[in-house]
Structure 1
Amino acid sequence: MTKQIKLSQIVPDNFYGMRLDQALAEMFPDYSRSRIKEWILADAVQLDKSVQNLPKFKVVGGEQVDIVADIAEDQRFSAEPIALDILHEDEHILVINKPAGLVVHPGAGNADGTLLNALLHHCPSIAEVPRAGIIHRLDKDTTGLMVVAKTIPAQTHLVEAMQAREITREYEAICYGKMTGGGFVNQPIGRHQTRRTQMAVIDGGKPAVTHYRVMEKYRGHTRLRLRLETGRTHQIRVHMAFINHSLVGDPVYGGRPRPPRKAAESLLVMIRNFKRQALHAAMLRLAHPITSEILEWHAPLPEDLVELNAALRADTLLHGMDEA
């Protein structure tokens, strides 16, 4: 479904010589420049009652601007009373700690039971915001922090901050192999050429940078802290597999379980039965989209990762680091 909006304003005189798309973005800051450009190209913008569909058109000041445009609503999805672990909420944004197993957005095979359905129930007015305010995603079985916009102005500013890499996201993970120190992976990511549901490091892919540092070393595994510069689909999982340190439990990029030699049966069972990627969005820091206040949240490790770390730590204390 769509919602029609109508906007009217006079171009300020000091905008003389400015591009139309730039001028409208300044005049209507609740909407992104890319969205305004789409409206211009779709003949939804009039200057002095005449359609103007050239984004590069130079304004002179004093023109009457009228915009009649459609914005997609998410009312085609149903609201569902799904519990949310809310860490912060105000009139503009919502920060949640997503559990494993919760799909973020409805799609093929997941028409309901998603975070979007939960958001529509928790905050019905969010249906007026595209994608119900979801500006970034976590994979179904990745846990941790997400920020959601409750209004269009908040969404516009958060999307722009995300694109400008002004939102900091840090993750914890457990990977296979012994890593000696931190570093980063700077490899482009795109759709896998033959397995279309998967991503891969490929020539011509989108730039992707993942920083990592070692938090704890185990016999045959490493506990990591990771920070994203970019936000490509499956980025951490793909990058860690690319450097031969895939995440424990990753059903797509992890390969077969690789427990350390002579591990106790309990640890063997735990690793074999860890059916999700051992990945958790642990920290989120951003400037509030309306007040500009710098805010930061931390989400504790979920119980399954706490137990896996404890088991690997006990195994290392029992056998020592040298016998993997």
Structure 2
Amino acid sequence: MAQITLSAEVQPEQMGQRLDQTLAEMFPDYSRSRLKTWIEEGLVLVNGEKITVPRTKVYGGESVEISVEVEDENRFAPENIPLNIVYEDEHILVINKPKDFVVHPGAGNPSGTVLNALLYHYPQIAEVPRAGIVHRLDKDTTGLMVVAKTIPAQTKLVRDLQKRKITREYEAVAYGIMTQGGTVDQPMARHPTKRTHMAVHPLGKPAVTHYRIMERFRNYTRLRLRLETGRTHQIRVHMAHIAHPLLGDQTYGGRPRPPKNAGEAFTTVLREFKRQALHAVMLRLEHPITGELMEWYAPLPEDFVRLIEALKADYLEHKDELDY
């Protein structure tokens, strides 16, 4: 068993919500059902008072504390899977995740994940909930992830994520010729009929994505994006919502669409790029223990580099035909 202590303050915009709903927003690493159970077991203090009714309303400004023992991650098997480690100290680990690598075991992926690798390389991390994973990348999204090696580090990183103090930037290639950068500020929720998909929904959780143009090609635009929130599939859903799905994203409409008169070599590169063109290129955070501001960059992976080169070559070949 591992002892965890969580604390946070109810935000003004959460006024009127149920306590269990508020805790689910405060502590997204724990399911609402688990948090509800902790409330009912008397493990949640609000302004120092034990609350045991999940539907209790909050008003904003309350201090919340949870102290509980949880099962460690020994139910998952350690596996000797290599990790590309960008930074490491006794408290945190930053990795550069390749494509085709699931972060956490789940339906259809019981093993072979980042979590299994962490348990092998750092056995003591089994004492940290979710083996220290505080945020995820999709299976085929590449790039930077931070992992907590201790419970205090994880608690602080989760809190900083909630307060939007951790900066995550991505590179992507989106379908269509975009003329300017902008912001997508649209709430998101689970898709009403496709349960493995997410969707923009007026009753969903707040989600904000900022983007700017890096390069324009024929029919495609290279982007730099920054997450203000971290919803599942957020960039992919937001870009599809504004009719610019990510190249290669079969789930949200980014199927290969070669431009008119595209050469065979370029068309082949597009069709062989069988994942969403999304890479977590930069991560900036305050060290959860020392408070030092730290920043890391991950170069584009080889398949992404080849894609950009092919897009540039196609653009140069046809630029005299373009009207922008």
TM-score bracket, shorter-length normalisation: 0.7 to 0.9
TM, length-normalised to structure 2: 0.82
Equivalent residue, structure 1, for 2:15: none
- Match of 2:213, as an amino acid? V
8 Å Cα contact 2:247/2:254 also seen in 1: no
Secondary structure of the structure 2 residue equivalent to 1:155: helix
1:308 corresponding residue in structure 2: 307
Q: Partner of 2:16 in structure 1?
A: none
Question: Between the two proteins, what is the percent identity of the paired residues?
Answer: 63
Deviation at 1:68, TM superposition (A): 8.3
Determine the structure 2 residue equivalent to 1:148. Answer: 147
Secondary structure, aligned partner of 2:184? strand
Tell me, what secondary structure is at the counterpart of 1:245?
Answer: coil
Deviations along 1:105-149, whole A, 9 cap, x unmatched?
000011100000000011000000000000000000000000000
SS across alignment from 1:320: helix
| Pick aligned residue for 2:50 from 44, 50, 53 | 53
Q: Is the 8 A contact 2:246 2:254 kept in 1?
A: no
Which AA in structure 1 matches 2:50?
A: N
1:198 aligns with 197
SS in 1 for 2:211: strand
Shift of 1:167: 0.0
Amino acid of the structure 2 residue aligned with 1:53: K
Q: Which residue in the other structure is 2:14 paired with?
A: none
- 2:4 and 2:69 in contact (8 A); partners too: no
Shift of the 175–70 alpha-carbon distance from structure 1 to 2, 3 Å rule, reads same
- 2:249–2:255: 8 Å Cα contact kept in structure 1? no
Question: For residues 289 and 43 of structure 1, what CA distance do their matches in structure 2 show?
Answer: 28
Aligned-partner Cα distance in 1 for 2:209–2:277: 16
Name 1:14's counterpart in structure 2.
Answer: none
2:223 aligns to what SS in structure 1?
strand
Cα distance 1:202–1:224, how it changes in 2: closer, same or farther (>3 A)?
Answer: same
Deviation at 1:104, TM superposition (A): 0.2
The alpha-carbon deviation at position 79 of structure 1 amounts to 0.4
CA distance change for structure 1 residues 45 and 220 in 2, over 3 Å: closer, same or farther?
A: closer
CA distance in 2, matches of 1:219, 1:154: 45
Question: What pairs with 1:1-324 in structure 2 (closer than 5 Å)?
Answer: 3=1, 5=3, 41-43=40-42, 53-54=50-51, 69-320=68-319, 322-323=321-322
- Offset, 1:5: 4.6
RMSD: 2.6
Counterpart code for 2:176 = G
- Secondary structure of the corresponding residue to residue 295 of structure 1: strand
Change (3 A) 1:321 1:306: farther
Separation in 2, partners of 1:222, 1:121: 40
Amino acid at match of 2:268: V
Find the residue that maps to 1:259 and give its secondary structure. Answer: coil
- Aligned with 2:156: secondary structure? helix
Do the aligned partners of 1:81 and 1:118 also contact (CA within 8 Å) in 2? yes
Q: State the alpha-carbon separation in 2 of the partners of residues 311 and 222 from structure 1.
A: 13
**Unpaired segments of 5 or more residues in structure 2?**
6-29, 54-65
Post-superposition shift, 1:194?
1.2
Q: Which residue of structure 1 aligns with residue 12 of structure 2? A: none
Q: Please give the alpha-carbon distance, in whole angstroms, between the structure 2 residues aligned to 1:244 and 1:68.
A: 45
**What is the distance in 2 between the residues matched to 1:284 and 1:305?**
19
1:189–1:262 distance in 2 versus 1, CA, 3 Å: same
Change (3 A) 1:158 1:270: same
Distance 1:241 1:322, change over 3 A: farther
Q: For the Cα contact (< 8 Å) 1:4–1:68, is it kept in 2?
A: no
Task: Say whether the 8 Å CA contact 1:219–1:322 is kept in structure 2.
Answer: no
What is the Cα deviation at residue 55 of structure 1?
8.1
TM-score under structure 1 normalisation?
0.82
Where does residue 22 of structure 1 map in the other structure?
none
Q: Is the Cα–Cα contact under 8 Å of residues 199 and 234 in structure 1 kept in the other structure?
A: yes
Amino acid at match of 2:265: S
Residue 255 (structure 1) shift: 4.3
SS of equivalent to 2:130: helix
How far the C-alpha of 1:53 sits from its partner, in A, is 3.1
